Structure 1
Amino acid sequence: MNRSPRAPGLPPVLVALAALVALAAATLVVGAVLEGRAGPVRDAVRAVTTATALGGLDEGAPGEADGRIGDREVTIDDDVPAVTRLDPELRAAVREASRAAEAEGIEVHLTSGWRSEAYQQSLLDEAVATYGSREEASRWVASPATSAHVTGDAVDVGPTDAAYWFAEHGARLGLCQVYGNEIWHYELRATTDGTCPPPLPDGAAAG
């Protein structure tokens, strides 16, 4: 009768190393208990376990209260901070433009509106990580000190056909595309006769 081959065991060196690690861990736990630090050790283990189970959830990440919209389809009429904290004149102009676009069969959503300083900073940090430098990131994301989103004076609109509708018709309602590389970003910048200034190449050109 043939016998099943035996699975190879760990090399003696690795077995000994594992035993030493286990012994060191046990020593630390026992020492913590003797010194009255069992609670902190337990809490630390629980925190690491929970973070791992949740995939590293960051409870301090910006949320809806900071103006975050995420993947939701938000309109100018929705009762969320990204919309309600916009400048009233800007919101009224975007509402009128949205109605006009929808009358032509074009649905308008806001992909971003008002943002808190913390949210804006997080977007800038992400852009620096993505583009590799603060200089390149500034072409796409402003600092909290200079962002029109933070003051409630800018909206980003989508989808693409809505953004192009705003580019073509928004000026008569005071809405202007501010940056050449961002077809979605609009602010109230038109003159009284409905003329928009030429778009800046990108956010870095705003200084």
Structure 2
Amino acid sequence: MPLSRPARTVGRRPRSTGLAALVVLSAALTGVLAYQSWAAPSSSAVSPGDTRQRPRALGEADGAVPDGLTVFADLPAVANLDPELLAALRRAATDAAADGVEFYVNSGWRSPEYQEHLLREAVAKYGSAAEAARWVATPETSPHVQGNAIDIGHAAAKAWLSENGARYGLCQIYRNEPWHYELRPDAVDHGCPPMYADPTHDPRMQR
């Protein structure tokens, strides 16, 4: 009968060694998670090449006008005007040209976005919404957005319209804006109506 071997005693690892291993493992996991969080793109971030979140640039399609634009042009600022207003403007411009005066368009039809842009600029320029309202209407009330107003450039054209505009139904509406004209058909027979001091006195602007 073989001699029995003494039982092998399995030694226990020191508790401190197990704790150290857990600390190392925890640190490693934390590092991996931190790296993944740093490397993964944020769901709210917009990559440099992604322009979907950027406001589109305003241009001629919104009613912006280049220098030297006339009432005979085909750009949206002119073409999108009310047809009767545009016809009256072109008749007047044709007659004014015979007097050596040319009509230039500083502004005509405007998109709501362009009107809002102009309003924000006016608030920044004049310091308050109340003061800006004397010069620029909201997109909801502006006759430019409706295609019912035009701003004429050059002093000679404004002077010619001031004297002759009523014959074509073209009237200056605001005393503080000698460039702003709208169509008032009754003016052909009865003259233009009294002007408002500025747009804040116009009931149409109170909506």
Same fold (TM over 0.5): yes
Q: Structure 2 CA distance, aligned partners of 1:32 and 1:67? A: 48
Return the letter of the residue paired with 2:39.
E
TM-score (norm 2): 0.72
Other-structure match for 1:78: 73
**Identity of counterpart residues, as a percentage?**
48
Other-structure match for 1:163: 158
1:200/1:36 Cα in 2 relative to 1: closer, same or farther (>3 Å)? same
Q: Structure 1 CA distance, aligned partners of 2:56 and 2:162? A: 36
Aligned counterpart in structure 1 of residue 39 of structure 2, from 35, 41, 46? 35
Q: Structure 2 CA distance, aligned partners of 1:137 and 1:202? A: 11
Name the Cα RMSD after superposition: 2.5
In structure 2, stretches of 5+ residues that fail to align are 1-33
The alpha carbon displacement at 1:33 in A equals 9.1
**Cα deviations by residue, 1:18-53 (Å, 9 ceiling, x for unpaired):** xxxxxxxxxxxx957963449x99x75x57xxxxxx
Other-structure match for 2:27: none
Deviates more, 1:59-68 or 1:76-85: 59-68
Other-structure match for 1:91: 86
In structure 1, stretches of 5+ residues that fail to align are 1-29, 48-57
Q: Structure 2 CA distance, aligned partners of 1:99 and 1:81? A: 21
**Cα deviations by residue, 1:105-126 (Å, 9 ceiling, x for unpaired):** 1121111111111111111111
Q: Structure 1 CA distance, aligned partners of 2:37 and 2:140? A: 49
| Contact 1:62 1:68 (8 Å CA) reproduced | yes
Other-structure match for 1:62: 58
Aligned counterpart in structure 1 of residue 100 of structure 2, from 96, 100, 105? 105
TM-score (norm 1): 0.72
Which one has the largest radius of gyration?
2
**Cα deviations by residue, 1:87-135 (Å, 9 ceiling, x for unpaired):** 1100000001111111111121111111111111111111011101111
How many pairs does the alignment contain? 166
Other-structure match for 1:193: 189
Other-structure match for 1:16: none
Question: Secondary structure, in 3 states, of the residue corresponding to 2:189?
Answer: coil
